[in-house]
Structure 1
Amino acid sequence: MTRQARVHRLSMRGPDDVAPLAAAIAAGRVVPGAIVAILGKTEGNGCVNDFTRAFAVASLRAALAPHLAPAALGGVAMVMSGGTEGALAPHMLVLEAIETDAPPGAMPALAIGAVRTPALAAADLGGPRQIAMVADGVAAAMAAAGIADPADVHFVQIKCPLLTSARIAAARAAGESVATTDTLKSMGLSRGASALGVAVALGEVERARAAAARIGGDVDLWSARASTSAGVELDDHEIVVLGMSAAWSGPLAVDHAVMTDQIDVAPVAAALRRLGFSASSPIPTGERDRLVALLAKAEAGTSGRLRDRRHTMLEDSDLSSTRHARAFVAGALAGLVGHAEIFVSGGAEHQGPDGGGPVALIARRDTP
């Protein structure tokens, strides 16, 4: 008995559009009991008050409730990332793990594992305890996927909490302090601490060094495989690990790359070639269906410059720089793959080098 990963990319007309998922279930293409996680891009602002994420999660839970017992439904990670600026296309990625009698293939295949951590105290957000909690959670998700070697992990997608006015007030009433009273800044602190937790779990950064880091400040500390997104809709962490395992079967494979800045698509093109795509850009029309999913992190960087040219993403008083960066990186990647149904998450604190970010690609191989 082996497991086989399946990934479905479904377009969405709005945050509550679960019709494509319902249709896939009715047609037997998706088995509710096999769903490990659902990752979604919703068209909100991606900031503290982006309730499209919670709206999407509530809609997905309602759609799956007739098919799953409450405990099983609660075990499905639902990582919603807000913000589809520019031409980013709202969509969801449904990740399944199917039990099969098929023997393992000749090559390792995509493996998926997901866990939820305990709730994070507001006082611990953006600090060493959050880093440690996430590191332990990543290790548990790797175990759930049957991945023993961190080198076999290609991407870790995390949904982490943020601070709201109510959470800050509750912490203060309990005599506790918080890392910041700026709710927007709390998103970056949570993303950064979560990313360092991934780095610790995967052996990219020593635990003691991560614990002593200035979150968002020590830009030389980063993970090449972390993607974290903060939201108001949860107070714990949803952790999804994507890797390769010889114990899994099927045609899907995952690889990753690291963009050094927002237009550095060469490493992504190299990963596409490793997955068997032709060297031409954009991907030829006949090959595009083989690329099942593309996930990326994006940020403006701290210097205010891109390849020695000034940009204004950090100086816009109307829009957060994360919104500019999502659209910009999505455009660069869309030109490479030929469409914009891409999972681009803004805010890459400790996720790739300053101004860059990790990218994951899930593709269907010609032979399993």
Structure 2
Amino acid sequence: MSGTVPQHVDAHVVPCRGPGDLSGVQALVEAGTLDPRHIVAVMGKTEGNGCVNDHTRDFAAMAWCHYLAPHRGCTPQAVHAQVALVMSGGTEGVLSPHFTVFTRRAALPHEVVEGEKRLVVGIAHTRDFAPEEMGRQAQIAATAEAVQAAMRDAGIDSAADVHFVQVKCPLLTSAKVDDALGRGQDTVTRDTYESMGYSRAASALGVGVALGEIDPARATDAAVLHDLSLHSARASVSAGIELEGNVVIVLGEAAGSASPLRIGHALMRDAVDTAGLRTLLREHFGLDPEADAALIAQRLVNLLAKAEASPDGRVREARHTMLNDSDIHSTRHARAAVGAVLASVVGRTALYVSGGAEHQGPPGGGPVAALVRVA
């Protein structure tokens, strides 16, 4: 669908019993609530460890490909080019596994909302990256180009109307490192887990460059994971073993959209910061978290957020131990903490909280976006 065509975009949050369970999706399809031909993006939270060997992400993506293929008249492998599948592992604490399914179709003339901005969505893919390109300038530049392509796909003219950019990026495995070394190339790191941070970081810098938040001249190899003053307020990046290039989903608002949804974003300054979200709900959606709990339960579709353990080892001047735990990685602690904090505001646990926020919001904090149905 061209970005010039008025869009009707909707979103459904579907619980699952496991990463391959699409029975809830099938029920919506059979009820006529969801048309699989209109699915353009899926953001899933799966119950794996979120680490290099988290194959729940690949399992979930494969299940979606096999489910959608007959509905779209293509092979399962071809689904990836038509639908942006982003599976984020890790539902620690109170977080509940689920899929957020975005549909997009051409709007009918009577559906278009004049003079008001509503939700639009656009998707794009980068080329596949060589192992030695991950975490470096090549990934930054390619991501920036893909974000701009997704904005065009969404029909968004101004970066100010972009509220959340979800990226799924690849990581290094030992086989990929060996391949690069065998060709006389060196990778940004030889530690496979550390490569997830580098890939997320480079991708986030690319988002910031595309949205005008970061000076391209400063988004260099040397800046990745080192210049923490560079960050995007709207980037969310998840790394996984199931792909070789970046998948980009741009969520924003545009005039002429026929969507029954709106989206807005705020920043969490640290892992326990709810002020930005509360202000967002009040000022962007007219919902008071204290007085309008029933309305929030009725109209909120999902919160999309990033989480990380503050790299200086402190939260509001108090020491935390997340970075010192040799049994459980800090990304898992951070997801559990931020998931509980956000759930306490909106009274819901099926929230999309992704760990590892390198260059995604200020150090120790991260972006949060709310998808809300219009009254």
Scaled by the length of structure 2, the TM-score of the pair is 0.95
One-letter amino acid of the counterpart of residue 79, structure 1? V
One-letter amino acid of the counterpart of residue 61, structure 1? C
Instruction: Indicate whether 1:25 and 2:29 are aligned.
Output: yes
Alignment gaps of 5+ in structure 1: none
Q: Which stretch has the larger CA shift, 280-289 or 194-203?
A: 280-289
One-letter amino acid of the counterpart of residue 46, structure 2? T
Q: Distance in 2 between matches of 1:174 and 1:24?
A: 49
1:81 counterpart (88, 93, 96): 88
1:66 counterpart (63, 70, 74): 70
Counterpart for residue 193 of structure 2:
184
Contact 2:289–2:346 (Cα < 8 Å) also in 1: no
Matches within 5 A, 1:19-168: 19-70=23-74, 71=78, 74-103=81-110, 104-105=112-113, 106-168=115-177
1:47 is paired with a residue whose SS is coil
Counterpart for residue 207 of structure 1:
216
One-letter amino acid of the counterpart of residue 74, structure 1? A
Counterpart for residue 276 of structure 1:
285
Counterpart for residue 306 of structure 1:
315
Matches within 5 A, 1:251-270: 251-270=260-279
* CA apart distance, 1:275: 3.5
One-letter amino acid of the counterpart of residue 105, structure 2? I
Structure 1 223/360 Cα, relative in aligned 2: closer, same or farther at 3 Å? same
Q: Distance in 2 between matches of 1:319 and 1:150?
A: 37
Q: Distance in 1 between matches of 2:331 and 2:58?
A: 20
Q: State the identity as a percent.
A: 49
Counterpart for residue 229 of structure 2:
220
One-letter amino acid of the counterpart of residue 206, structure 1? D
2:102 is paired with a residue whose SS is strand
1:280 is paired with a residue whose SS is coil
* CA apart distance, 1:140: 0.4
Q: Distance in 2 between matches of 1:224 and 1:276?
A: 19
* CA apart distance, 1:100: 2.1
1:349 counterpart (340, 347, 358): 358
Over aligned residue pairs, what C-alpha RMSD do you find? Answer: 1.3
Q: Which stretch has the larger CA shift, 62-71 or 42-51?
A: 62-71
Alignment gaps of 5+ in structure 2: none
**1:168-195 deviation per Cα after TM superposition (whole angstroms, max 9, x unaligned):** 1111112211000000000000000000
Q: Distance in 1 between matches of 2:132 and 2:291?
A: 47
Q: Distance in 2 between matches of 1:112 and 1:229?
A: 18
Q: Distance in 1 between matches of 2:249 and 2:295?
A: 30
Counterpart for residue 178 of structure 2:
169
* CA apart distance, 1:102: 2.8
Instruction: Indicate whether 1:247 and 2:256 are aligned.
Output: yes
Structure 1 166/282 Cα, relative in aligned 2: closer, same or farther at 3 Å? farther
Question: Which segments of structure 1 move beyond 6 Å, counting only runs of 4 or more?
Answer: none
Q: Distance in 2 between matches of 1:120 and 1:149?
A: 28
2:12 counterpart (5, 8, 11): 8
Q: Which stretch has the larger CA shift, 187-196 or 277-286?
A: 277-286
One-letter amino acid of the counterpart of residue 80, structure 1? M
Structure 1 253/267 Cα, relative in aligned 2: closer, same or farther at 3 Å? same
- Paired residues in the alignment total 366
Q: Distance in 2 between matches of 1:17 and 1:294?
A: 22
Q: Distance in 1 between matches of 2:219 and 2:140?
A: 8
Q: Distance in 1 between matches of 2:300 and 2:235?
A: 20
Q: Distance in 2 between matches of 1:28 and 1:340?
A: 26
**1:99-138 deviation per Cα after TM superposition (whole angstroms, max 9, x unaligned):** 1223531311101000111101111111111100000000
Structure 1 30/143 Cα, relative in aligned 2: closer, same or farther at 3 Å? same
Counterpart for residue 239 of structure 2:
230
Contact 1:64–1:73 (Cα < 8 Å) also in 2: no
**1:234-285 deviation per Cα after TM superposition (whole angstroms, max 9, x unaligned):** 0011100000000311321000000000011110011111243432338512
2:364 is paired with a residue whose SS is coil
* CA apart distance, 1:60: 1.0
Q: Distance in 2 between matches of 1:289 and 1:185?
A: 40
Q: Distance in 1 between matches of 2:35 and 2:129?
A: 32
One-letter amino acid of the counterpart of residue 296, structure 1? A
Q: Distance in 2 between matches of 1:238 and 1:335?
A: 31
Structure 1 259/29 Cα, relative in aligned 2: closer, same or farther at 3 Å? same
Q: Distance in 2 between matches of 1:292 and 1:133?
A: 31
**1:177-225 deviation per Cα after TM superposition (whole angstroms, max 9, x unaligned):** 1000000000000000000000000000011101254311211100000
One-letter amino acid of the counterpart of residue 196, structure 1? L
* CA apart distance, 1:65: 1.6
* CA apart distance, 1:286: 3.8
Structure 1 295/136 Cα, relative in aligned 2: closer, same or farther at 3 Å? same
